[in-house]
Amino acid sequence: MASAADAEGPHPTPTRADDSAVKDLVRRARKARKSGKLNEAYDAYKAAFDAAEAVPSELRERAELAGELGLCELALRKYREAAEHLTWSLEQGHVLTDEVRVRFEAGQEKAASYLVRVLLSVDPPDAEVLVDGQRIGRTARTHKLFLNPGRRMLRAHAPGRGEDLHVISADAGSAHEITMNLPRVAVSTAKEAPAAPKAVSASPAARPEAPSPWASWPGTLRITGIGLTVATASLGSVFMVHARAADGDLAELNGKLDDLGVASWACREPSPPATCSELSRLRRQRDQFAALGTGLVVASGVIGATTIASFFTDFGLGQAEPRRDNVALSPMAAPGQLGLVAHGVW
């Protein structure tokens, strides 16, 4: 949220029409809130706050509008937006009355109890900061962040500096202080010398060997089949493990929602809690990993069965008659063992 001190360039002079429009929106918002129409009150307060952005001299009015907007967001379970608006309003506390400030402080504490508070210090202050891949959108040495509970990734980078990365996994109501000092990247001017060519020693000519059955095209296909079987089975196992981990995270998040008293049908409301998007993402991730893992495991079984069957198939193309004696089975008996031995060429 940009403040009056952060704006650049001259501001337009407020007009009576602007002031009248803001007051009309505030009256509509108060009336809607008294009638219990929270969504209508939220829309009116948000429009009034946006309109008041063009009147930087009315700091008290903007601070009160931000706080009232935050209280509406709190009632609608928009906890992160509520915490941000209430925090900005309280930062202008010197223009608020004691009664208003007390109301806003109580609302901020309640909203923050559902979130993770992070005080992030960054050097240099013009570094770009991203939270879960999304840019914060403001440049400062210190950032006050309100994040949804769970696993969050904070990253910062700047031209001529290295990159810093922090991953936190926190519960609702917790607070963290993180410092990111991006190191300067040393610029090397020395040119790398070309690598000296390696000496190649002559070796005696290899003696001709009898062609191996693996050198033919059936052998190549069998080797490829074995490799594909192992690779697809391994990838399928990895995806199944990821699906199980995502299912565990989903169960943990559902448990936290139950502890907070959030019913399962709350995600189907017009204004669902912010955590519902995380639930949907985890479900999609679990289903995708499970589908990929199952498909790869099935594919590995098909490829493996085909490869095994090829060892008992004659690929003698161009011969007058198929070979009948390429594989032979002989009985085998040993102390404690009884079975068949396959021998021949394939």
pLDDT one-digit tens code per residue, 148-183:
899 988 888 888 888 888 898 888 888 888 998 888
Residue 79 confidence (pLDDT) above 90 = yes
How many residues are recorded in the chain?
346
pTM for the full model? 0.47
Structural contact between residues 86 and 68, judged by C-beta atoms closer than 8 angstroms: no
Residue 55 confidence (pLDDT) above 70 = no
Place of tokens 């020693």: 201
Strands 175-181 and 116-123: parallel
Place of tokens 């089949």: 225
| Per-residue model confidence (pLDDT) at position 6 | 41
Cα→Cα distances 322→134, 317, 328, Å? 65, 8, 15
Averaged over 142-150, what is the pLDDT?
87
- CB-based burial, 89-124: b 16+ in 10 Å, e otherwise: bbebeeebeeebbebbbebbeebbebbbbbebebbb
More confident residue, 193 or 104: 104
Helix (H, G, I), strand (E, B) or coil at 229: helix
Peptide bond into 124 cis (omega under 30): yes
**Distance from C-alpha of 255 to C-alpha of 251, rounded to nearest angstrom:** 6
Q: Which of 87-91, 145-149, 327-331 has the lowest mean pLDDT?
A: 327-331
Averaged over 317-325, what is the pLDDT?
46
| Per-residue model confidence (pLDDT) at position 187 | 63
Cα→Cα distances 137→1, 129, 134, 231, Å? 9, 8, 9, 43
Chain segment 13-42, per-residue pLDDT in tens:
445 556 788 888 899 999 999 999 999 999
- What is the phi/psi pair of residue 177, to 5°? -120, 120
What's the token pair of residue 160? 């001529």
pLDDT band at 7 (very low <50, low <70, confident <90, very high): very low
Q: In 139-273, which residue ranges form alpha helices assigned H by DSSP?
A: 217-259
* Other Cβ atoms closer than 10 A to 326: 16
Average pLDDT of the chain to the nearest whole number: 76
| Per-residue model confidence (pLDDT) at position 326 | 54
**Distance from C-alpha of 17 to C-alpha of 51, rounded to nearest angstrom:** 11
Q: Which of 119-133, 203-217, 248-262, 297-311 has the lowest mean pLDDT?
A: 203-217
* Other Cβ atoms closer than 10 A to 128: 14
What's the token pair of residue 190? 């020395």
Q: In the chain, which residue ranges form alpha helices assigned H by DSSP?
A: 16-34, 38-52, 59-75, 79-91, 98-112, 217-259, 275-310
**Distance from C-alpha of 21 to C-alpha of 18, rounded to nearest angstrom:** 5
pLDDT band at 81 (very low <50, low <70, confident <90, very high): very high
| Per-residue model confidence (pLDDT) at position 35 | 92
Chain segment 248-273, per-residue pLDDT in tens:
877 877 777 676 666 666 666 666 66
| Per-residue model confidence (pLDDT) at position 12 | 45
Chain segment 97-139, per-residue pLDDT in tens:
999 999 999 999 999 999 998 988 888 888 888 898 888 866 6
Averaged over 289-304, what is the pLDDT?
84
